[in-house]
């Protein structure tokens, strides 16, 4: 049987750090509230478009695999914060890395976009459609955040990570997975203002209103990630004790702890990044995976469990078998351009741009959806 081994990995975090203290300069919040409710201390704010973050992560992943862009024949761009809708973002990365023979498309399942992309890339390699796939999780949440809403503005950050999958005869890569969506809960996590529905109703594009039912998300996410994880463990015929690393989506430390408790996972096997990066939506889980490997936490041949959830309410759990190699074959010189501004300055610029469209508030109130 054909498998899709993960042979390259790379991440790109923008350098500007937004602290809880920074947030409290323009929101009625404080470090203690954010830390105790979410486990977050810092998040990153990007000074460049999402495609640039994605390209640096991709270049690093491709070098890690000992390949060049021309070897890639499939680019999957997982994101819910694309720089533009047409052309797709995957083609922007494809052109920058020189993957001239590749197919390229975007996937949006909100925070699970990388995980869904991992399933699609794996399936396309298994079926023989592709041989070398680049799967990216990237978000530029800061540009469409509703920075006046303390319920959500404290939770998110920007970032990107990428994985290179390659055809293999060894049992490696995704060995069991579960994808699902609680569609009856699609209203509990909604970013209003992006999409043609809003333009038709007179809302200026880019003006957003975030509607989140945090406690309901908390309940559904905990239940869904635990159930999906148990299902993939059962499918693979392994127990949680066989898992070497648990790398979950990180929307809130308390959700992760609740999922780990339900699964009976040893907390020392969790790889956590929520404290320093917050929730980077689809970039969260792959950034954490890459960081775990870079910090030497991945044993050769290790078993990794990755549960996630996102708007929709999409759910996923993936069980990965790592290959023998846990170090890069080469490193890339790709870097972001220097950032001259602080994270708070970048956020203040975005807030100033959005203030212009304040009259959209009444229009948002009138909107009804299904």
Q: Which of 19, 26, 29, 148 forms a contact with ligand ACO (CB under 6 A)? A: 29
Among the listed residues 7, 4, 5, 3, the one whose alpha carbon sits nearest the alpha carbon of residue 328: 7
| Choices 54-62, 69-77, 207-215, 343-351; region in contact with ligand ACO by CB under 6 A | 207-215
| Choices 122-130, 147-155, 341-349, 360-368; region in contact with ligand ACO by CB under 6 A | 147-155
Task: State the alpha helices, DSSP H only, in 19-88.
Answer: 20-23, 31-38, 50-64
Q: Which of 72, 111, 228, 270 forms a contact with ligand ACO (CB under 6 A)? A: 111
Using CB under 6 A as the binding rule, whether residue 189 contacts ligand ACO is answered as yes
Q: For the CB of residue 333, give the shortest distance to ligand ACO in the complex, in Å.
A: 33
Q: Give the integer Cα–Cα distance in Å for 195 and 145.
A: 15
Using CB under 6 A as the binding rule, whether residue 33 contacts ligand ACO is answered as yes
Residue 10 or residue 157: which is nearer to ligand ACO going by CB? 157
Q: Which of 77, 144, 309, 322 forms a contact with ligand ACO (CB under 6 A)? A: 309
Q: Give the integer Cα–Cα distance in Å for 315 and 310.
A: 6
Sequence-distant contacts of 331-335: CB under 8 A, at least 24 apart: 331/60, 331/63, 331/64, 332/10, 332/56, 332/59, 332/60, 332/62, 332/63, 332/64, 334/55, 334/56, 334/59, 334/60, 334/63, 335/56
How many residues contact ligand ACO, by CB under 6 A?
A: 23
Distance set, CA 352 to CA 201, 327, 345 (Å): 23, 44, 11
Q: Which of 53, 56, 154, 162 forms a contact with ligand ACO (CB under 6 A)? A: 154
Is 88 catalytic? The answer is: no
Using CB under 6 A as the binding rule, whether residue 150 contacts ligand ACO is answered as yes
Q: Give the integer Cα–Cα distance in Å for 154 and 147.
A: 9
Q: Which residue is nearest to ligand ACO (CB)?
A: 214
Contacts of 202 (CB under 8 A, 6+ apart): 363
Q: Name the active-site residue from 181, 252, 279, 318.
A: 279
Instruction: Tell me which residues touch ligand ACO (CB under 6 A).
Output: 29, 33-34, 37-38, 110-111, 150-151, 154-155, 189, 212, 214-215, 217-218, 251-252, 279, 309-311
Q: Which residues are catalytic?
A: 111, 249, 279
């Amino acid at each position: 049987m054909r498998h899709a081994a993960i042979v390259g990995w790379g991440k790109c975090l923008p350098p500007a750090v937004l602290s809880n203290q920074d947030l409290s300069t323009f929101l009625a919040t404080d470090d203690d509230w954010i830390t105790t409710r979410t486990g977050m201390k810092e998040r990153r704010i990007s000074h460049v478009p999402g495609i640039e973050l994605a390209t640096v992560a991709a270049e690093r992943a491709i070098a890690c695999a000992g390949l060049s862009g021309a070897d890639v024949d499939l680019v999957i761009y997982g994101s819910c914060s694309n720089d533009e809708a047409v052309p797709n973002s995957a083609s922007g990365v494809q052109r920058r890395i020189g993957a001239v023979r590749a197919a390229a498309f975007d996937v949006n399942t909100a925070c699970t976009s990388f995980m869904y992309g991992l399933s699609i890339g794996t399936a396309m390699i298994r079926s023989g459609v592709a041989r070398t796939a680049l799967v990216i999780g990237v978000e530029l949440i800061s540009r469409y955040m509703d920075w006046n809403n303390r319920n959500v503005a404290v939770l998110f950050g920007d970032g990107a990570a990428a994985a290179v999958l390659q055809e293999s005869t060894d049992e490696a890569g995704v060995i069991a997975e579960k994808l699902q969506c609680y569609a009856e809960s699609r209203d509990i996590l909604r970013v209003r203002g992006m999409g043609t529905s809003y333009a038709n109703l007179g809302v200026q594009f880019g003006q957003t209103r975030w509607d989140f039912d945090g406690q309901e998300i908390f309940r559904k996410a905990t239940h869904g990630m635990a159930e999906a994880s148990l299902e993939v463990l059962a499918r693979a015929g392994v127990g949680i004790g066989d898992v070497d690393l648990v790398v979950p989506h990180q929307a809130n430390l308390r959700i992760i702890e609740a999922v780990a408790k339900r699964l009976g996972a040893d907390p020392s096997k969790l790889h956590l990044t929520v404290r320093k990066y917050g929730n980077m939506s689809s970039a969260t889980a792959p950034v954490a995976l890459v960081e775990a490997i870079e910090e030497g936490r991945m044993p050769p041949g290790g078993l990794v469990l990755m549960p996630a959830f996102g708007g929709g309410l999409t759910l996923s759990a993936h069980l990965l078998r790592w290959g023998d190699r846990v170090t890069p074959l080469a490193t890339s010189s790709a870097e972001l351009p220097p950032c001259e501004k602080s994270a708070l300055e970048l956020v203040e610029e975005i807030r100033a741009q959005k203030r212009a469209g304040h009259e959209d508030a009444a229009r948002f109130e009138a909107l009804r959806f299904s």
